[in-house]
Each structure stands twice: as C-alpha cells, then as structure tokens.
Amino acid sequence: MSSEPYLVVSAILFAIGVLGFLVRRNAIIAFMSVELMLNSVNLSLVTFARQHGNLDGQVGTFFVMVVAAAEVVVGLAIIVAVYRARRSASVDDANLLKF
Amino acid sequence: MQLLEIVNAVPASGLFSLAWLLIAIPLASAALLLVLGRYSDKWGHILATAAPLASFTIGLVLFGQMLSADEGSRAASVPLFEWLSTGNWTIEVGLLVDQLSILFVLLITGVGSLIHIYSIGYMAHDDRRRRFFAYLNLFIAAMLLLVLADNYLVLFVGWEGVGLASYLLISFWQHRPSAAAAGQKAFVVNRVGDLGMAMAIFTMLAWFGSSSFSDVNAGAAELTPFWATLLGLLLLLGACGKSAQVPLQSWLLDAMEGPTPVSALIHAATMVTAGVYLVVRSNAIYAQSEIALTAVAIVGTVTLLAGAWIGSSKDDIKKVLAGSTMSQIGYMMLAAGLGPVGAAFAIFHLITHGFFKANMFLGAGSVMHGMDDDVDMRHYGGLSKAMRVTFITFAAGYLAIIGFPFTAGFYSKDHIIEAAFDQNTVLGVLALIGAGVTAYYMTRLMVMTFFGKKRWADDVHPHESPLVMTVPLIILAIASLGAGLAMNGWIQGWLAPPTGHEVHDTPLVHFTTIGLLTLAVVIVGVLVGWFLHRGEIPRNEPTTKNPLVLAGRADLYGDALNEHAIIRPTRGLSKGVAAIDRGVVDGLTMGSASLAGGLSAWLRTAQNGYVRTYGLTLVIGIVALAAIVFFGQLV
C-alpha cells in the first residue's frame, strides 16, 4: 500500500494550519491552527511508522499528543487571562512586547 | 689616588646595641602625638621636646664611648632585622654608628633639641602646635635613620622620610596657597633627585648584589670606569635634589614659606646637608671616577656662586638666608668634590654651618616675631636697640659665616678654599669670590636689619622674644663662635677612617697667603656692603635696570628655566598624548560602540510585537532551511 496519499493529506493539513495561523487574528483560531499543524505531523509520523514497520513513529505521536494536551492547558489559560485583561482575543492587540 | 682603606665596623656591644633607641624615641613620640590628636594638645610640645633631648643624651653617651675607644674599634655596626629576602638579594636593616654618623647624630639631635625648645615659644599662638611638633619629631627620626643606616636602601627610607617631613612642614600653614604650592614644589623637585638615588641603588644591587655600605665599598674597585662614573653621577643627582644644588635648587627659596624653626632645622642645618653626607659616605665610588668627582666640585662651585648672587638681591630676610644656605652647601659640595682631602672639611663646614645658620634663622624668626611676621628687611632698620639679645646672637652668626678670624666659619671655610686652590686654581678663585660675596650680602642683611634709622610702621612695636626663644639663640651663638676653635685640630683625625683621608696640619693660628687673601676679600665685601647701605634705604624695592639685580631677584631665572625647558615641553607632550587618546583611542572605541548601537537600533525594529509577523518569519526561515537542505542534496 502506498503511503503517498497520507503524506499529501498531512501536507495539506499542515499548510492549512500555517495559513490559518498567519492570517487569522482570533487567538482561539490561531491556537486551533497550531493544533492542526501538530496533528498533520502526527499523521505523517504514523504513516512513516507503518512504512518502516516499527513503532518508533507511533511512540513519537504519543509524545506529541501529550505535549499538545499540556500546551492546550497552558495556552488556553493564557488566552483567557489575556481576554479578561484586555476584553479582546485578538492576537494583534497583544503587541506590547516590542522595542 | 691611593686605594681607600676599608674600615670594618666591629659588631656592636653594650650601649651601642641600644642605638636604635635614637630613632625609636622621636618616632614613637611623633606617632603618639598624631594618634592621640587633640588629647595631647596640652602637653604634646613638652613630650616632643623631650624626645630629641633623650636621643641627644644617648648620642652623647655613645660619643663618649667612641672617644674613649681606640681608633680601630670605634665604628660599630648594629644589625637589627632582616627586611626582605627575595631571589639573590637579602636586605638587612642595620645601623652603622661610626665617626661620621655620630657627628651627624649630635648635630641633628643637638640643634634639633634647641629648635624644639625655640619652637615652644615661636609656635605658642598656633592652634596646631602639637601637630607641628609631631612633624618635627617625625623629621628627627627620619633624619637619624638616614645618617645611621648601614645600607643605601635603608638610607633611602630615611631620605624619603625627611622629604615627607619637609613637605608637611613647608606647607604647614596650608591655608596659604603659596605655602601649599611651595610644599608641592619641594616634593616634586625632590622626586627628580630621588630618581637618581633609586637608580643608583638599582645599579648597586645589580653590580654588588647588595646595597650595604661595606659591600659597596669593598666592591667599588671592581666597577668599570663607565659604571663608576654613572653611579657617581646618579648619586650626585640625588644629592642635588636633597641639597638644593644647581640644577635642582629652585625649591629651597620657596621652602621658606614654612614656619621659621622649620627653615632653621630642615632647610638650613640638617636635611639639606644630606646630599653632602651622601657624597662623603660614597667616597669609595667617587674614588673610582675622576669625572664624577669633578662634577661634584663643579656643581658645588656653581651653586655657591648662584646662592650668593640670589642672597645679594633679595629683600626677604629668610630668602637671603636661604640663598646663603644654598651657597654654603655649595662650599661643602665643592669640598666633597675635592676627594678625600676635602671630605673632612666638608663635614667640618657642615657642622659649623649647622650652628651658625640655625642661629641666624632662629634670629630671623625672633625678628619676625617682634615685627608682626614681616619678613621684608626694608621695613626693619635700627633693631639693634629694640632686640638686644637677638642682635648680639645674630652678630655672632654673622661673624662666623663671613669667616671673621677665630670664629667657626674662619676655620671651616678657609680650609675649603685652601684645599680648592691646591687642586685647581679656577675653583679656588671662584670659591674666594664666593667668600667676598658672602661677606657683602651678610653685611647688607645686618645693616638693613639692625642698623640705620627705623623704617617700620608706627603700629609695629618690636620687642625682644621670650626666654624660651633667646636661650637657644645664646647657646647657638656660643657654638657659632667656638665650634671652629674646638673642632679644628681634632675633626680631621677623627674623620680619617670613614673618609679615607690623611691628616693635614691645620694649626689654630695659621695665616697662609690664601688665608690672608680670603680675609682681604672678606674685608672688601664687608666694606662694600656697609658703604652701599649706610644711607637711606627706601621702604619699597626700588626699580632697577641692573641685570645682575634683576636676575638675582628672579632667583636667577631658575623657575623660568624649569618652566621653559621642562614643564612646557612635558605639558605639550601630555597634551599631544591626550589628543591622541581622545582622537584615536577614544575614537576607535566610541566609533565601534556607536556602530554596534546603530546596528542594533535598526535591528530591533524587527521586534514589532505582532505574533503573526514572528510566525511569518519562522515559516520563511524554515522554508529557507528546507530549501537549502533539499537543493543542497541535489548539488
């Protein structure tokens, strides 16, 4: 079985994630785009594991999932905190950290 | 020139091992007075006067012991402790009590004690009298260390110590800018001499591996002529700085800003003679180099004329005496530069000069005390009646310095002039002229101060000084008159071992052709001095076009010469270096700093705070990396 379709899907998902992150202002959407990128990578990792016939890629996927779960906890907490402070979830409004 | 006999000092025994007390007592007293501060204001001057008296007593006892010992065992060395040991060098601190140093000890502590007593009266109204006495004691201790050291390096410690005390005391009235400046000037000019001294010590350490007198004396014969000459000239430079000899003479006249007892003790009787001591002590080195010895004699001759010249044209009584001091030390240097023949005469004149010059300086202080601290002789006149004791004691000093028959200067100075004639007629004639000028300016001083009509203002009431000031004057006056008679027949034989000199016959009543010639020149000088100043003396310095007088009033342009020959070139050089520092060095560092600053100011605009811009940068970077990896594989 060819792994090419899976990788194409993974690449498409990743490109959608990148574009979403770059063009959307809403922090929640940007966050979802990041998750999309992570999961596209998961898909390609699982594909490669299957292709090579060992479990290394699948183990890596689990790691990514764990990290993503932790990241969601922290990230959403930050977004909520920012929203409470500024009454806005736009990433362009949180632009104070600069020269 | 015959090789000098090396005199070996015997190890100290009995009382001699206590010689360190000579230095320790005044040092401890100075430390106590400085540490206790105002608590010792009430009794500080008493303690400080007792300290040199105690040292004088110890000195007298040691001197008595040396007199009773036979000649071979008079010099005693007193090892104290090891100072430092590094590499090949071990520096021991020790004292050398020999015929030369004991005379200095007696002069320093004897005249020093008298001046301490005098200062009790002179400084009675000064708020900081205790501090003054502490510094005087510090000076006595340092000066004793200088003359008692058995080693050039330890001598150097004392040498710097007296320099410090001199600085502190010249600028004692530091609220006067002129006094503060004079202290600094003395300090800076002395550093030039110290440079010579330090380099001489380095040379000794390199050649002999030791700086002790015995090692240097023993090894001096091995010096090559070049190094012997260099060593002699370096020591001469040191001596010039300390003894205010040309070309380092300029500080002494300004040093008169200090209180008068200081001028008497440090800048006339003792410290300024340290250079003569150094040259006499280093006779083994000078025996190896005719050139260095001649240089000493020439420096002495030039200075004795320059000092006399300056003394002849000043109206400030202390500056006249300062010029006279320069001149008399010039005589000593000349004598020391005549080789072993003159060394004993140099020390002889040094001691008699210590008496009569201290006497006259203290006399001048007494006059100033009665005249509300006015130093201008044009405001004096007719003081002989108002200040009887001061006048008579000053006259004793006057007779001694001009060389009136049978006074101290008659013996000590005439010996030098005769010895100079023996060696070199030119030096002899110049020394003879110096004697005439000395008689002239001292007569001028006497006439302007004590004779003629009164020229002081009506609100000045000249009065005799208290007993505490006049008693030291009387003692010094007796010494000025009698020291020559007492020491003439004895000092040469006494000093023969340390100076390596065979004794000349110098009877008490002794009129040679040169002696009579000197006397004639002196009489001419006295007559000229009296004749020119017998009439009215204007209260203000008259303007004159006489180049001799103008040069004398300007200290023979010593300051101007220093200004043009040394200070301005140095200042120009430092300005140039500073400009290079500002332009090139600072330019490089500041330029690179502003370059980095500008670059980072430009770079930081990339930090615009928009998360999405950072994300885009990240993506572009990753794409670029991926492209490099991908196309790199293709190539």
Backbone angles phi, psi at B505, to 5 degrees: -85, 120
Alpha helix stretches (DSSP H) within A1-99? 4-23, 27-52, 56-86
How many CB atoms are located within 10 Å of the residue B520 CB? Answer: 12
How far the first Cα of chain A sits from its last, in Å, is 53
User: Which distant-in-sequence residues (6+ apart) come within 8 Å of B452 by Cβ?
Assistant: B381, B382, B533, B534, B537
- Put simply, whether the predicted model's pTM sits higher than 0.95 gets the answer no
Question: Is A75 within 8 Å of chain B by CB?
Answer: no
What tokens appear for B576 in the block?
């140039």
Q: What is the pLDDT at residue B510?
A: 66
> Structure tokens of B365?
């202080």
The domain made up of A4-86 is a member of CATH 1.20.58.410: no
Mutate to test the interface with A, among B604, B605, B612 (most CBs of A within 10 A): B612
Question: What is the per-residue pLDDT for B198?
Answer: 95
What is the phi-psi region of residue B87: left when phi exceeds 0, alpha when psi lies from -120 to 50, beta otherwise? Answer: left
B11 or B476: whose pLDDT is higher? B476
Q: Where are the alpha helices (DSSP H) in B69-93?
A: none
Residue B625 makes CB contacts below 8 A (sequence gap 6+) with: none
* pLDDT tens profile B63-77: 998 888 887 778 888
Nearest to B506 by CA among B278, B355, B276, B349: B349
Question: Across residues B451-456, what is the average pLDDT?
Answer: 86
> For the segment B173-190, what is each residue's pLDDT rounded down to a tens digit?
999 999 999 999 999 999
Residue B599 domain boundaries: 564-634
Q: Does A95 touch chain B (CB under 8 A)?
A: yes
CA distances from B362 to B38, B272, B474, B606 (A): 27, 17, 11, 83
Residues 562-601 of B with CB under 8 A from A: none
For residue B133, is it within any domain? no
Q: Does any domain span residue B159?
A: no
Nearest CA in chain A to B600: A99
How far A93 CA sits from the closest chain B CA (Å)?
8
Q: What is the number of structural domains in chain B?
A: 1
Please report, rounded to a whole number, the percentage of residues in chain B having pLDDT higher than 90. Answer: 59
Write the pLDDT tens digit of every residue in B320-348. 999 999 999 999 999 999 988 888 899 99
Interface predicted TM-score of the whole assembly (ipTM), two decimals:
0.86
Do B604 and A99 make contact, defined as CB atoms within 8 angstroms? Answer: yes
- Residues in chain B within 8 Å Cβ distance of A30: 611-612
Residue B622 lies in a domain: yes
Q: Does A91 touch chain B (CB under 8 A)?
A: yes
- State whether residue B623 sits within 8 Å of chain A by CB: no
Q: What are B96's strand-pairing partners?
A: B77
> φ, ψ for residue B75 (rounded to 5)?
-75, 130
pLDDT of B56 higher than 80: yes
B475: nearest Cα among B370, B354, B382? B354
CB contact under 8 Å between A22 and B611, yes or no, is no
Burial class (CB in 10 A: 0-12, 13-18, 19+), B127: exposed
Query: Strand pairing of B89-97 and B76-86?
Result: antiparallel
Name the residue among B282, B193, B167 with its Cα closest to residue B246: B193
Q: What is the pLDDT of residues B200-227, one digit of tens each?
A: 999 999 988 888 998 898 888 888 999 9
For residue A95, the chain B residues in CB contact (below 8 A) are: 608-611
The reply to whether A97 touches chain B by the CB within 8 Å rule is yes
B550 touches chain A (CB under 8 A): no
How far does A30 lie from chain B, in Å, by closest CA? 9
Extract the residue ranges of chain A whose pLDDT is less than 70: 1, 99
Give residue-wise pLDDT tens across range B68-121: 888 777 888 888 888 888 888 888 899 999 889 999 999 999 999 999 999 999
Two tokens, residue B92: 């021991």
Cβ-nearest to B615 among A21, A95, A97: A21
Residue B5 has pLDDT above 50, yes or no: no
Contact B619 A95 (CB under 8 A): no
